[in-house]
Amino acid sequence: MPVVLIAEELSPATVEALGPDFEIRYCNGADRAELLAAIPEADAILVRSATKVDAEALAAGRRLKVVARAGVGLDNVDVRAATMAGVMVVNAPTSNIVSAAELAVALMLAAARHVSPAHAALKNGEWKRSRYTGIELYEKTVGIVGLGRIGVLVAQRLSAFGMKVVAYDPYVQAGRAAQMGVRLVDLDTLLAEADFMSVHLPKTPETAGLIGAEQLAKAKSSLVLVNAARGGIVDETALYAALKEGRVAAAGLDVFAEEPCTDSPLFELENVVATPHLGASTDEAQEKAGIAVARSVRLALSGELVPDAVNVQGGVIAEDVRPGIPLTEKLGRVFTGLAGEVAQQVDVEVRGEITDYDVKVLELAALKGIFADIVEQQVSYVNAPLFAAERGMAVRLVADPESPDHRNLVTIRGTLADGSQVSVSGTLVGIGQRERLVEVNGFDVDLEPTAHLAFLTYGDRPGMVGTVGVILGDAGINIAGMQVSRQAPGGQALVALSVDTAIPADTLADIQHAIDAESVRAVNLV
């Protein structure tokens, strides 16, 4: 059974969602020695934020196929190293959006009404009603910086408070914002108009320090600023100065540039309410995250693409496309066997009814098959495009609804270094969706892609098929299926064979010599 390593405390629903098909093991991922001792036997590892899955851990995880982060951020996972190792990285991008949105609103209310200092004073025996007079949210303007999934939820909730909502997000169209009752503005306008501001952006090189001293100088002195997104988007030094000098009224913070953060000048200020990155810390969010990544692990370990994978191109696979994935992977391996080298350019052509759907997965399946017998590393949907890029292979996906001869057809066509071309086509036939090879290098065939195949190209003349049969018989190799195809009498001919066992190299050499073959290629799909 595949081994799933749970390296941090997760919701019990996570194990339930994994089901009975896996061996579940546990370790303390924060203990480096314990993690490195446990990970070599794991096919998948589930973590939260305390476990560092870096290049060293990935190298130790020789069987590892998927790293699952039960949450949104991936700061503790080396995604690039995982990609190079062919390891899928998945997270739960929507698991905590409600929890994060609700915390942002909670921080805004707490900052507006001085909940934190009033609470502390009362616990110290002080009754200070007049000191902690707050402000209402009703009929105030709130500026949402980042109108993504969480920003939209915050906007919806604050609209219910009777607030006017403006937003800054250069990647959102004004029409879409207007449909939500939000007026889209530039950042300077937002800063000038907002009584409250809530940040909901991912942290990138472009957003780091986005709200700094220059921006805070443009804000109202009554501004209440909330950051429950990512630390570092708001410049903490600039924010401290603005709060200290009364240029910003209050702040609610859940995230910090360096975490864990237990010693910040901001914590000394009464007009700051702060929490230790609790955005996803609800029972509901943890359960959703655990269930989501458990489902992703099940898909990944069964060889499927995963919608929440962050380092795999593609997405949800249509049911009509799914049966073509293993066929296309086999076509890729046959293509490599025929080419005998890495092609300079490869086209993955998909024709027929399935082009009504997203067929990007078939390009990935083709590349996975192409490199399966070329590189020493494990090849997956994750790293197959990297292998192509590293070797300078230009890859193109061609989709065409027209397919004159077959309901659906997948062709892998490539150009080699000498300018010659190699191609192989396949389709699925009948109710059982049986796999068939239907074209090889321009020759029509009809052959099941079994475990052991051979393709012989030679000048068409009598006796060649019998000669091949005799040589294979003498070698104790049974022919399971044979197709002979030619483009014209006396011209080039192709024999496509499926055999019960692999054909040894010396037997292939004997065949090539006996029939004066132009090309003899064997392909083993096991």
Predicted pLDDT of residue 314 = 55
Predicted pLDDT of residue 44 = 96
114 is catalytic: no
% of the chain with per-residue pLDDT over 90: 78
- What average pLDDT does this structure show over 5-28? 93
Angle formed at CA 475 by CA 469 and CA 478, multiple of 5 degrees: 55
41 is catalytic: no
Predicted pLDDT of residue 344 = 93
Verify that 102 and 241 share a domain, yes or no. yes
Mean pLDDT, the chain, rounded, equals: 93
Angle formed at CA 109 by CA 262 and CA 283, multiple of 5 degrees: 65
Q: Are 63 and 85 in contact (CB under 8 A)?
A: no
Query: Which of these ranges, 42-56, 92-106, 298-312, has the smallest mean pLDDT?
Result: 298-312
Q: Is the pLDDT of residue 377 over 80?
A: no
Predicted pLDDT of residue 410 = 98
Predicted pLDDT of residue 237 = 97
Verify that 14 and 140 share a domain, yes or no. no
Q: Tell me which residue range forms the domain holding 353.
A: 315-448
- What average pLDDT does this structure show over 458-470? 93
Q: Count CB neighbours of 121 within 10 A.
A: 16
Q: Are 509 and 462 in contact (CB under 8 A)?
A: no
Domain final residue pick, 429, 448, 467:
448
Predicted pLDDT of residue 420 = 94
Residue 308 lies in a domain: no
Residue 279 lies in a domain: no
Query: Which of these ranges, 77-86, 108-117, 449-458, has the smallest mean pLDDT?
Result: 77-86
- What average pLDDT does this structure show over 480-496? 90
Verify that 245 and 270 share a domain, yes or no. yes
Domain CATH code at residue 121:
3.40.50.720
Q: For 304-393, where are the alpha helices, taking DSSP H only? A: 324-339, 360-372, 384-390
413 is catalytic: no
Verify that 443 and 390 share a domain, yes or no. yes
Predicted pLDDT of residue 230 = 92
Q: Give the pLDDT confidence of 153-164 residue by residue, as tens digits.
A: 999 999 999 999
- Which of 88, 94, 42 minimizes the C-alpha distance to 292? 94
Q: Is the pLDDT of residue 524 over 60?
A: yes
Q: Count CB neighbours of 111 within 10 A.
A: 25
Verify that 51 and 78 share a domain, yes or no. yes
Predicted pLDDT of residue 322 = 81
Verify that 320 and 356 share a domain, yes or no. yes
Predicted pLDDT of residue 499 = 95
Verify that 401 and 512 share a domain, yes or no. no
Q: Please report which helix (H) or strand (E) contains residue 411, including its range.
A: strand 408-415
What distance lies between CA 465 and its chain's CA centroid? 49
Residue 186 is classified by DSSP as: -
Verify that 266 and 294 share a domain, yes or no. no
Q: Are 254 and 228 in contact (CB under 8 A)?
A: yes
Verify that 411 and 473 share a domain, yes or no. no
Verify that 370 and 425 share a domain, yes or no. yes
Query: Which of these ranges, 68-82, 222-236, 270-284, has the smallest mean pLDDT?
Result: 68-82
- What average pLDDT does this structure show over 101-127? 97
Tokens of 47: 């973590």
Band of the pLDDT at 313, cuts 50, 70, 90?
low
Predicted pLDDT of residue 503 = 94
Comparing 412 with 313, the larger pLDDT belongs to 412
Verify that 330 and 400 share a domain, yes or no. yes
Predicted pLDDT of residue 315 = 53
Residue 306 lies in a domain: no
Bridge-based pairing state of the strands 3-6 and 23-26: parallel
Predicted pLDDT of residue 110 = 98
Band of the pLDDT at 319, cuts 50, 70, 90?
confident
Tokens of 469: 């049969």
Q: Active-site residue among 34, 41, 56, 259?
A: 259
Verify that 520 and 487 share a domain, yes or no. yes
Q: Give the pLDDT confidence of 66-103 residue by residue, as tens digits.
A: 999 998 778 899 988 998 888 999 998 888 899 999 99
Q: Active-site residue among 114, 200, 230, 452?
A: 230
- What average pLDDT does this structure show over 505-522? 94
Q: Are 22 and 4 in contact (CB under 8 A)?
A: yes
Q: Give the pLDDT confidence of 48-60 residue by residue, as tens digits.
A: 889 999 999 999 9
Q: Active-site residue among 48, 114, 277, 333?
A: 277
Helix, coil or strand: residue 487: coil
Q: How far apart are CA 380 and CA 173, in angstroms?
A: 37
Q: Give the pLDDT confidence of 470-482 residue by residue, as tens digits.
A: 999 999 999 999 9
- Total count of domains within the chain: 4
Q: Is the pLDDT of residue 383 over 60?
A: yes
Q: DSSP for 405-472, please give it.
A: SSSEEEEEEEE-TTS-EEEEEEEEETTTTEEEEEEETTEEEEE---SEEEEEEEE--TTHHHHHHHHH
